[in-house]
C-alpha cells in the first residue's frame, strides 16, 4: 500500500496488483488501452478502456469505455452512477413504505374491530396516483452536493443495508396509523362514509407529503423543498386529483365517497401534514444523537 508507481510490469503483474488492492477491501478501477491490459481490466471491480485509441480486446474486457479518452469523464460517470443508485434506493424506499402504510391501514383496522377503512377501488386509486407519480419524480433527483466526497459503497451490501428496512417499516406504520386516525375521527363524529372519505384523502396526501421526507437524510428545508420540480409537480398533480375525486359527484359516487365540509377538510389536511413534522423532528434528534455527517475531500499525497 505504500507504493504509488509500478514500472515495467507484465499483464500478470497488473492482475496481481489489482487483486492485492481488492484483497484489502478496496474498490478497484483499472484503466487501459492495450491487449496486455485486458486481464487486469476484467479482474478489476470496474475496467475502463480508451474508446479512441484502445484495442477491441481492451474494450470488450472493460465495463466502461471512454469515447473521448478523457479521464475527467470517469469522475462524471461515477457521479452519475452514484446518483442513479441513490435515486433507485429512494424510489424503492418510497414505494415499499407507502404500500406497507396501506397494508397497516387495513390490517390494523381489522384487528381493532373497525369496519374496513378503505374499499378496494379506493386503494387501487391511491396506488395508481399517489404512489407512482412521486416514485418517478424521486428517480429524477439531482445528485447530492456531497455525492463525490463519500467513500465507495460496499458492493457486498444490499440496497436495504444500514437500517433501511427498519426505516421503511417504521414510516409505513406511521402512514397507516395516521390514516386510521383520520378514519376513526370521521367515523366517530360524522359516520362511516365520511370516515372512509377522510381516510381516502388522508392516505393519498400523506404519501405525497412523505415523498419529500425521502429526498435526503438531511432536513428538507436544508436541501430545498422546491429543488426537484418533478417532485413538486407530482405533489401538486396528485393532490389536485385526490381532491377532484371527492368533489366531482359522478366520480365520487363511483369511488363511494361523499362531500366533506370545511372542518372535515381541515381535519384531513392537518393529519396529512404530520409526516413532514414527525420525520423532521426525527432527523433533528438523529443529528443530536449521532452528529452531523461531514464529508472531507481526500487530497492526493505528494509523491
CATH number, residue 39: 3.40.50.1000
Condensed to tens digits (0 to 9), the pLDDT of residues 159-201 reads 888 888 999 999 999 999 999 999 999 999 999 999 999 999 9
pTM score: 0.84
131 and 254: one domain? yes
Q: Which three-class secondary structure string do you get for the chain? A: CCCCCCCCCCHHHHHHHHHHHHHCCCCCEEEECCHHHHHHHHHCCEEEEECCCCCHHHHHHCCEEECCCCCHHHHHHHHHHHHHHHHHHHHHHHHHHHHHHHHHHHHHHHHCCCCCCCCHHHHHHHHHHHHHHHHHHHCCCCCCCCHHHCCCCCCCCCCCCCCHHHHHHHHHHHHHHHHHHHHHHHHHHHCHHHHHHHHHHHHHHHHHHHHHHCCCCCCHHHHCCCCCHHHHHHHHHHHHHHHHHHHCHHHHHHCCCCCCCHHHHHHHHHHHCHHHHHHHHHHHHHHHHHCCCCCCCCCCCCC
92 and 64: one domain? no
Q: For position 204, which CATH number holds?
A: 1.20.1110.10
Condensed to tens digits (0 to 9), the pLDDT of residues 46-82 reads 999 998 888 999 999 999 999 988 888 888 988 999 9
Query: How high is the pLDDT of residue 84?
Result: 94
151 and 198: one domain? yes
Condensed to tens digits (0 to 9), the pLDDT of residues 256-273 reads 999 999 999 999 999 999
Residue 158 lies in a domain: yes
The confidence band for 240, taking pLDDT boundaries of 50, 70 and 90, is: very high
Condensed to tens digits (0 to 9), the pLDDT of residues 211-237 reads 999 988 888 888 877 888 999 999 999
Residue 5 lies in a domain: no
Residue 166 lies in a domain: yes
**Domain that includes residue 40, residue range:** 11-70
111 and 258: one domain? yes
174 and 213: one domain? yes
- Count of domains for the chain: 2
The confidence band for 293, taking pLDDT boundaries of 50, 70 and 90, is: low
Amino acid at each position: 500500500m505504500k507504493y504509488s508507481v509500478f514500472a515495467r510490469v507484465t499483464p500478470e503483474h497488473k492482475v496481481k496488483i489489482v487483486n492485492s488492492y481488492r484483497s484489502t477491501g478496496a474498490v478497484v478501477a483499472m484503466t487501459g488501452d492495450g491487449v496486455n491490459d485486458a486481464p487486469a481490466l476484467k479482474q478489476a471491480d470496474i475496467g475502463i478502456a480508451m474508446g479512441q485509441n484502445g484495442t477491441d480486446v481492451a474494450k470488450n474486457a472493460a465495463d466502461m469505455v471512454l469515447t473521448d479518452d478523457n479521464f475527467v469523464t470517469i469522475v462524471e460517470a461515477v457521479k452519475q452512477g452514484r446518483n442513479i443508485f441513490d435515486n433507485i434506493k429512494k424510489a424503492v424506499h418510497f414505494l415499499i413504505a407507502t404500500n406497507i402504510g396501506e397494508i397497516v391501514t387495513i390490517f390494523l383496522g381489522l384487528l381493532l374491530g373497525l369496519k374496513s377503512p378503505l374499499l378496494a377501488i379506493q386503494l387501487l386509486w391511491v396506488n395508481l396516483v399517489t404512489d407512482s407519480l412521486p416514485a418517478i419524480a424521486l428517480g429524477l433527483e439531482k445528485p447530492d452536493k456531497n455525492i463525490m466526497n463519500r467513500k465507495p459503497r460496499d458492493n457486498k451490501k444490499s440496497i436495504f443495508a444500514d437500517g433501511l428496512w427498519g426505516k421503511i417499516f417504521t414510516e409505513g406504520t406511521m402512514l397507516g396509523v395516521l390514516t386510521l386516525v383520520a378514519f376513526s375521527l370521521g367515523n366517530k363524529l360524522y359516520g362511516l362514509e365520511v370516515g372512509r372519505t377522510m381516510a381516502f384523502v388522508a392516505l393519498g396526501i400523506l404519501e405525497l407529503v412523505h415523498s419529500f421526507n425521502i429526498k435526503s437524510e438531511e432536513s428538507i428545508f436544508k436541501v430545498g423543498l422546491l429543488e426537484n420540480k418533478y417532485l413538486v409537480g407530482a405533489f401538486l398533480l396528485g393532490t389536485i386529483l385526490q381532491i377532484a375525486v371527492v368533489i366531482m359527484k359522478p366520480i365520487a359516487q363511483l369511488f363511494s365517497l361523499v362531500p366533506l365540509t370545511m372542518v372535515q377538510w381541515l381535519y384531513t389536511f392537518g393529519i396529512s401534514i404530520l409526516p413532514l413534522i414527525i420525520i423532521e423532528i426525527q432527523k433533528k434528534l438523529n443529528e443530536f444523537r449521532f452528529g452531523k455527517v461531514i464529508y472531507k475531500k481526500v487530497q492526493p499525497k505528494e509523491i
